[in-house]
Amino acid sequence: MSLHPAAPDSGIVFRRSDRAGAEIRACWRNVVEQPLCTRLDDGEGLSVSTIEHLMAAFNGLEIDNAVIELDGPEVPVMDGSAAPFVFLIECAGIVEQDAPRRAIKVLKPVTVGEPGKSATLAPDDGFSMSFAIDFASDAISRQDITIGVDPETFKSDISRARTFGFLHEVDQMRAAGLALGGSLDNAVVINGHQVLNREGLRYVDEFVRHKVLDALGDLYLAGAPIIGHFRGMRSGHALNRRLLEALFADATAWCPTTLARRLPSELPWVATAPRRASA
């Protein structure tokens, strides 16, 4: 995988070098439901899977425009978090672009759900997230977090949280041709009530923080950063996608706007900020 800068208003685009440079835009309309990951598919045989951690890095670092070139159908898993992508992007550098940074402002609550699960977007002055999970395993149990999201908190409090799952889920992903390089080096694996990773957890509540990371990546498929509050209750990739669909289906629930520069002495959104792209 290689990351390339892109012009203003290009958005995030995945390019398959093994498919003669065929491209697909990172957009909720191009998402097809697949267990345990987020997958883009153009309906004509071009797909890219497991994009959520990279998309979270773009969202968390406020990168609007980039081209991701891949020589296969899946984004590298790295260590199961967004931290390696953050490190490499910051090493390469981030270029400010001379164009307003567009955003999507939530005007009224929108909720989707199914028994025992829900996902909501509600109005807020900035962007914040809360999430609750509840597993029968004592290794996870119930965890709840609320956090305001900006590049600093993303890097310190969210980006290092690794994907997690149970042994039977790992087997399921491999049977589907995904996570073929998966191991204890790139996921927190639980067997019953026990975490199998010898080094333990990076955060006491790493599991719910990773759910925040996943949702952060999925929400960036809106095509722009969101001004609002996201609340997930045991939701996953499928509900996150349906939430965006429900938001955009109601023209009274959102409006386009521009983001403002966050100044220490002023309110979060007070002046026009430039767009950004990876370099």
- Model confidence pLDDT, tens digit, residues 220-267: 999 999 999 999 999 999 999 999 999 999 999 999 999 865 544 333
Q: 162-176: per-residue pLDDT in tens?
A: 999 888 776 676 676
Q: What is the mean pLDDT of residues 39-67?
A: 96
pLDDT of amino acid 264 = 41
What is the pLDDT averaged over residues 267-276?
33
Distance of alpha carbon 214 from alpha carbon 206, whole angstroms: 12
| Nearest C-alpha neighbor of 85 from the set 57, 66, 65, 62 | 57
pLDDT, tens digit, 9 for 90 and up, residues 176-192 = 665 555 577 888 999 88
Distance CA 276, CA 203 (A): 30
Domains, the chain, ordered by start = 2-278 (3.30.1700.10)
Which residues are tagged catalytic?
237
Indicate the pTM of the whole model.
0.89
Q: Name beta bridge partners: 143.
A: 133
Mean pLDDT of the chain: 89
Average pLDDT over residues 46-69: 97
